Chain A
Amino acid sequence: MSKLRQHKLFSLGLFLVLVVISLCIVSFFYLPQDPNVMNTINRFQSPSKEFLLGTDQFGRDILSRIMISSRYALFIGLVSVFLGAVVGIVIGALAATANGWLETILMRFIDGLMAFPGILLAMMLVAVLGKGLWNAVIAIAIFMIPVFSRLTYSLVLDQKNQLYVKAARSYGASKSRIIFKHILPMILPRLITQFSASIGSAILIESSLSFLGLGVQPPNASWGLMLSESRQYMLTYAYLAVPPGIILMITVLGFNLIGDAWNDSIVSRRMAE
């Protein structure tokens, strides 16, 4: 029963993510319209055969823009979480195994980063680094560091007290051997889960940044930017806000579901053991 449900959720998540990924892949080969070409005569069109999701305030095809945007979303999501995870895991593992002042300094620094309300840290970093794709990636990656280092830190500490590690230590295994051979394989599933779930939140942050004008820059398309542009037409053409909002939600939901289903299966596997 539980297995089946996990499986279903996982499949749903996978399906949603695949929808977005295929939108992205297709966009490299085929787009219904040029996403950046303005045609002011066609603006604010309702969905039609020519424009499946209608057109925006400049007469650009919304579907094409959504497809193009998926590239940014996936790219920023994957790359920033990957960078953040690598740095975060290293810091977390270092802090958990190092003793004394290094542990304190690292973890207090992470606590310090964590005290910045998410989007604010990214906003500040973008202000420092300047706008642009890579800067957004770096800003979001830095935002992701604390999550991974805290998780790694607590998992490693947890494992350190497990019997098998104590045993390994009593046999005289080296520190790095314990981490890489014993602890890392044990905590990797949890980290992968976190990775998947973080992609969702990274994409959300990217869209928030773009919504505030700090992420992807016009005339390029991004879901957050499309929402921000739709904002001034909320009363007249509220429809503009629907497609980007929904695709954004689908993407985040997809990654979160995969992460959750994974997590559940890890938990239940552990229970079965």
Chain B
Amino acid sequence: MKRFKFIFSVLLVSIILVACGSSTDEEGSANENSNLDSTEQKEESNTVNIEKTELNMALSVDPDGLDPHRTTAASTFQITSNIFDTLVTVTPDGEIDENLAESWGISDDGLSITFELREGVVFHNGREMTADDVKYSFERLKDEESPRSGDYANIAEINVIDHKTIEFVTDSLNVELLSNFAYPWAAIVPEEAAEDLRNHPIGTGPFKFEEWVPQQQLVLTKHTEHYDPASLETVNFKMMPDVTSQVSALQAGELDIIAVNGDLVGQFEGNPDYTILENRSNSIQLMAINTEHEALADQRVRQAINLAVDKQALIDTVWWGYGEEIGSHYPTMLKEYIDTNSVLSYNTDQAKALLEEAGYRDGLELDMYLPASYPAYVDAGQIIANELDAIGIKVNIEIVEWATWLSDVYTDRQYDLTVVGHTGRLDPYDLLARYHSENGENYFNYSHQRVDEILTLVQEEQDDAKRLDLYQELQQILAEDVPALYIQSPITLTVTASDVAGYTSYPIDIYQMKDVYFTNK
């Protein structure tokens, strides 16, 4: 049966691909702490409520197990980031910060990195953590059962220098090496508990695993010996797939934190009992175009499709305006982002003209596949289909289960159009690599010579400014060539009871519950 677990975790590799946008789904709340609707004053004036230390938060899906080395599901890392620590961590602003490692140094050739570990860190089972645990953890992350092994194949040697010092030696230069130690899957685990991390995780993190009843709840309790102890004693994650239930439960005081859709914000607006947090997210949503389709191979047809869609109206309708229009495959919050919205802006006449020019005066028929588990994508797809109909492209919609979508659309690329989302990472290369004509995840079947060149160059380029230029050039090409209709970079909405403070979001998909506390209001 072990084999099955492995297989399934491999399946979930793909889940990282479509992460947000679902009405009932919190993956993809990889956010920057740029609360548009800020709550800072409140946090200043209120003091920590030491009586109230139990927090209830809604999750719409169960985690895919709790072993961070054996899954790629965002739903797992949202929880395991509280149970396990990593060597370094990422701040809400996207900076790398110390965690289990207090300091680090990179060799001059850029090929090896040495970490000095924090003293006195103990696992939840009471044993002290040493450099050997770090070595074991990375070996486990690299072994064949790990879905991330490819990402860490570059690490050639792991050398324990003393019990608090460890060195990683890599094969080739990777300019974003350090970020690889900040992801929640680079968690440090104790060897003795490795067998059953999936159901009984043991780490060094600020919270201990208490109980998990699938589809019901998952309970964490405070790890008192953590170097930066949490304020909360208990965190209950309640599994509630239905938004209506979540909202009602928050209103009934059964929950303290939920994620909501734009239409529900109105329920809480102007109510002093709740705080609404709006966060830009490190993710984008798009309609992918299969460029191998006879008509869609023609750039003019793709451009016509882009011109036919009123993106802002689409965002207003499906996401209630909570999203930032994009013109290329890049989230607005990342520093490499350039605004490409004006490259092709909504113009149906121009769209019709282009279509005619391409030889499709009498129209065109395309098949669109939409993933059933993501209502927002289903809605967006219907609206786009409606708009394409107006320029003479007839779209047949088929709504498919996620599993079917993965196999038929994503893997076999048997589709013309599909609406989906992509989550970002800390390293822009990871986000864009799929546009390389040879890349296995290039489900657009996209092939562009200059794009391939850029994607090769950018890996070796050590000069930050030049790299930035390359990334921006790439964004520009995608905006003009339209391998996908880029829709928006979503803004996630979180509503908390107003006595909840310290809840922030991160550019990678994690929740840090240790900073959350209740105030005396």
A residues in contact (CB < 8 Å) with B: 36-38, 40, 43, 57-58, 127, 131, 213, 217-219, 231-237
Sample of 5 A–B contacts (CB below 8 Å): A58-B379, A127-B401, A213-B372, A232-B261, A234-B244
**Interface positions of B from 380 to 414, Cβ below 8 Å from A:** 382-383, 385-386, 397-399, 401
**11 more A-B contacts (CB under 8 A) besides A58-B386, A219-B386?**
A36-B386, A38-B383, A38-B386, A40-B383, A57-B379, A217-B397, A218-B399, A219-B382, A219-B397, A232-B261, A237-B263
| Cβ contact within 8 Å between B316 and A40 | yes
| Cβ contact within 8 Å between A218 and B263 | no
Residue in B383, B385, B399 whose CB lies within 8 Å of A213: B399
Q: State the Cβ distance, A221 to closest chain B Cβ, in Å.
A: 12
Residue in B242, B266, B313, B378 whose CB lies within 8 Å of A236: B266
A-B complex: 10 closest residue pairs judged by Cβ atoms: A40-B317, A234-B244, A38-B386, A219-B382, A213-B372, A236-B263, A232-B23, A217-B399, A235-B247, A235-B244
B residues in contact (CB < 8 Å) with A: 23, 242-244, 247-248, 261, 263-264, 266-267, 313, 316-317, 372, 375, 378-379, 382-383, 385-386, 397-399, 401
| Cβ contact within 8 Å between B317 and A43 | yes
User: Whole-angstrom distance between the alpha carbons of A247 and B377 in the complex?
Assistant: 28
Q: Is the interface of B mostly helix, strand, loop or mixed?
A: helix
| Cβ contact within 8 Å between B317 and A236 | no
By a CB distance below 8 angstroms, the chain B residues around A40 are 313, 316-317, 383
| Cβ contact within 8 Å between B267 and A38 | no
User: Whole-angstrom distance between the alpha carbons of A231 and B23 in the complex?
Assistant: 11
Q: State the Cβ distance, B392 to closest chain A Cβ, in Å.
A: 15
User: Whole-angstrom distance between the alpha carbons of A131 and B401 in the complex?
Assistant: 10
Residue of A nearest to B387 (CB): A38
User: Whole-angstrom distance between the alpha carbons of A38 and B381 in the complex?
Assistant: 12
User: Whole-angstrom distance between the alpha carbons of A37 and B382 in the complex?
Assistant: 10
By a CB distance below 8 angstroms, the chain B residues around A231 are 242, 244
Q: State the Cβ distance, A173 to closest chain B Cβ, in Å.
A: 54
By a CB distance below 8 angstroms, the chain B residues around A236 are 263-264, 266-267
Residue in B244, B267, B378 whose CB lies within 8 Å of A218: B378
Q: State the Cβ distance, A208 to closest chain B Cβ, in Å.
A: 16
Q: State the Cβ distance, B355 to closest chain A Cβ, in Å.
A: 20
Known: A232-B263, A235-B244, A236-B267. A58 touches B399 (CB 8 A): no
By a CB distance below 8 angstroms, the chain B residues around A232 are 23, 243-244, 261, 263, 375
By a CB distance below 8 angstroms, the chain A residues around B244 are 231-232, 234-235
User: Whole-angstrom distance between the alpha carbons of A236 and B264 in the complex?
Assistant: 7
Q: State the Cβ distance, B518 to closest chain A Cβ, in Å.
A: 26
Q: State the Cβ distance, A36 to closest chain B Cβ, in Å.
A: 7
| Cβ contact within 8 Å between A58 and B398 | no
User: Whole-angstrom distance between the alpha carbons of A235 and B264 in the complex?
Assistant: 8
Residue in A58, A131, A233, A234 whose CB lies within 8 Å of B383: A58
User: Whole-angstrom distance between the alpha carbons of A217 and B248 in the complex?
Assistant: 29
By a CB distance below 8 angstroms, the chain A residues around B383 are 38, 40, 58
| Cβ contact within 8 Å between A235 and B397 | no
